[in-house]
Structure 1
Amino acid sequence: MEKTLTPVQDTPAPVRSYSRGSIQVEPLTCAIGAELSGVNLGDAARDDDLFAEIKSLLLKHKVLFLRDQDITRAEHVAFAERFGALEDHPVAGSDPEHPGLVRIYKDLDSPAEHYENALHTDGTWREAPAMGAVLRCIESPPVGGDTIWINMAEAFRRLPEHIKTQIKGLRARHSIEASFGAVMPEEQRHALKARFPDAEHPVVRTHPETGEQILFVNSFTTHFVNFHTPENVRFGQDYAPGASHLLNYLLSQAAVPEYQVRWRWTPNSVAIWDNRSTQHYAVQDYWPAVRKMERAGIVGDRPF
């Protein structure tokens, strides 16, 4: 007797290459990421229609990749500024001639606080975390130094329904003191927190342009602020360690390979990502080789 196959729930649709105007688009996974060809970001900085196509593709794929972008720092900044004003970083240094162009140079003398090998969304310790970023490779290791991005809209969509119900309305704290500040002397760490007090954000945010629901916790997240209610807490252990168990479960979703794309860097390759709907992780497996990157971070809005 012939057996009827039942489709697997949530099986992604096939992905294929396609064109958008002059841009060739090669999706890299079923969930996130596409490589663009036939486009120069220096041109896109000056061309309204070309920039609009790239922005539309970014909202669709969440992170875009391009190779052979032999552009100047000024063109890098000009393209990123099409999305919005650029932000500096209080710990990592910027290029002196291009404020907002953060230099992420990794060599044997790199300071310990400039870590990137954690699953994170940039700047959620800010009241208004970054909207996104444009990252360009200046020098790459011969092997290693890849970066991974994760689709956190997909991570939320595929959560069990009872977890979605439980986390609806929850809010959490995000801290620069507990991350970048942890290796600093106490006085310097306290000064950093005074400049950037812990920010409070919804655990599930709404993307302001697509309307998607996003699981919005990452390695900057320290704890829930409104978990201790009669609905959630029957006994003490429901709160401690119950709340931390739930937070750790949510954080673990970014490690699911089905939500990820991994990019191998080469000099003059570029990644553009939507920081509102993704996390990323810079793999530090290349010591003692050198990895030099320059990132233009774009000011965002307050999550809701």
Structure 2
Amino acid sequence: MSLTLTRLSPALGAIVEGIDLAAPLDAPALQQLRQALVEHQVLFFRGQDLSPQAQRDFAARFGDLHTHPIYPQHPDARQIMVLDTEAFDLKDNAIWHTDVTFIETPPLGAVLAARQLPPQGGDTLWASGFAAWDALSDRLKTLLDGLTATHDFTKTFPLKRFGLTTADRERWEETRRTHPPLSHPVVRTHPESGRKALFVNAGFTTAINELPEEESQALLAFLFAHQSRPEFGLRWRWQAGDVAFWDNRSTIHYAIDDYRPARRIMHRATILGDRPY
């Protein structure tokens, strides 16, 4: 198999052609994709025909899959998370975030398939943690390297929004019990490339542990604004049959919520990673 990659921006992103994600992939093809993912950080595939089961099976070739504790699952493939604006309020995705950093081994990556799109809008933004780190001054890099930050699922999933029914509240309380706040490095080293990336995000990061509260919040506010600068990212306009595969270890993303009351349905398979260092 010969893949053709077209780079989308200086910071990250490439369109991949010459592959059918629903077809069996041999080891060399998987290695090509893995290398492309590390290099480009987010890969886009046009014109794919992936069933939920095929999407699950493709993602599982890269690692064990995560089942989200809050979002609904597809009835035919429980490892596929269903993001349906008609069934679930998804405004928490309209914030710059890295997926599921509230667990000890945050995802390696995710595979997102467009199932139903609004007539206009509903684009997704991605930005590179590598580019954000590289652009910092040496003095600030010295300060940040070695610091840790707290990540808490309740920042994006507060009880007042996700505990409206008895069943929802029980699920939220169980998630709170099994996913207490935990710490990750502010700057993580990518396990495959060795590059450094900022690893804080507005969705789940609540504090820098080694700093007083006021300094922590001021520095986080700067980092959240810095990492979302347009020169570090790209904007993807979805089409029917599109699939995105991104490296969750080195990126943040933002699902633009500009299409209501139109409906948008996306399916996501989430691949577990390793402990950040």
TM-score (normalizing by structure 2)? 0.93
Q: Could you tell me whether the CA contact under 8 Å between 2:53 and 2:76 is conserved in 1?
A: no
In structure 2, what is the equivalent of residue 202 of structure 1?
A: 185
Rounded Cα–Cα distance in structure 2 between residues aligned with 1:283 and 1:268: 19
Runs of 4+ residues over 6 Å off in structure 1: none
| CA RMSD in angstroms, aligned pairs only | 1.6
Q: Could you tell me whether the CA contact under 8 Å between 1:177 and 1:192 is conserved in 2?
A: no
The amino acid across from 1:209 in the alignment is E
Q: Could you tell me whether the CA contact under 8 Å between 1:92 and 1:102 is conserved in 2?
A: yes
1:66 alignment partner, one of 36, 45, 51: 45
Q: Secondary structure at the match of 2:15?
A: strand
Aligned residues: 270
Q: Deviations over 1:253-299 (max 9, x none)?
A: 22200100111111210000000000000001011111111000001
Rounded Cα–Cα distance in structure 1 between residues aligned with 2:119 and 2:187: 39
1:244 alignment partner, one of 180, 193, 217: 217
The reply to whether residue 221 of structure 1 matches residue 177 of structure 2 is no
Query: What's the offset of the Cα at 1:48?
Result: 2.0
2:263 alignment partner, one of 281, 286, 290: 290
Query: What's the offset of the Cα at 1:171?
Result: 0.5
Rounded Cα–Cα distance in structure 2 between residues aligned with 1:75 and 1:51: 15
Q: Could you tell me whether the CA contact under 8 Å between 1:181 and 1:192 is conserved in 2?
A: no
Q: Could you tell me whether the CA contact under 8 Å between 2:121 and 2:259 is conserved in 1?
A: yes
Q: Secondary structure at the match of 1:149?
A: strand
Rounded Cα–Cα distance in structure 2 between residues aligned with 1:240 and 1:216: 19
The reply to whether residue 48 of structure 1 matches residue 27 of structure 2 is yes
The amino acid across from 1:129 in the alignment is P
Q: Could you tell me whether the CA contact under 8 Å between 1:139 and 1:266 is conserved in 2?
A: no
For residues 185 and 271 of structure 1, do their structure 2 counterparts lie closer, same or farther at Cα, with a shift above 3 Å needed?
closer
2:16 alignment partner, one of 8, 31, 36: 36
In structure 1, what is the equivalent of residue 157 of structure 2?
A: 180
In structure 1, what is the equivalent of residue 89 of structure 2?
A: 111
Which deviates further from its counterpart, 145-154 or 114-123?
A: 114-123
1:265 alignment partner, one of 238, 247, 264: 238
TM-score (normalizing by structure 1)? 0.85
Which deviates further from its counterpart, 180-189 or 134-143?
A: 180-189
For residues 74 and 184 of structure 1, do their structure 2 counterparts lie closer, same or farther at Cα, with a shift above 3 Å needed?
closer
The reply to whether residue 27 of structure 1 matches residue 10 of structure 2 is no
Rounded Cα–Cα distance in structure 2 between residues aligned with 1:185 and 1:35: 39
The reply to whether residue 136 of structure 1 matches residue 113 of structure 2 is yes
Q: Deviations over 1:56-102 (max 9, x none)?
A: 11111000001100122222111101100111001101112212111
After TM superposition, list the pairs within 5 Å mapping 1:70-85 onto structure 2.
70-85=49-64
Rounded Cα–Cα distance in structure 2 between residues aligned with 1:66 and 1:191: 37
Q: Secondary structure at the match of 1:89?
A: coil
The amino acid across from 1:224 in the alignment is I
Q: Secondary structure at the match of 1:131?
A: strand
Query: What's the offset of the Cα at 1:129?
Result: 0.6
Which deviates further from its counterpart, 183-192 or 148-157?
A: 183-192
Q: Secondary structure at the match of 1:162?
A: helix
**Structure 2: where are the runs of 5+ without partners?**
none
Bigger Rg, structure 1 or 2: 1
In structure 2, what is the equivalent of residue 15 of structure 1?
A: none
Identity of aligned residues (%): 38
The amino acid across from 1:203 in the alignment is V
2:122 alignment partner, one of 133, 138, 145: 145
Which deviates further from its counterpart, 54-63 or 175-184?
A: 175-184
Q: Secondary structure at the match of 1:197?
A: coil
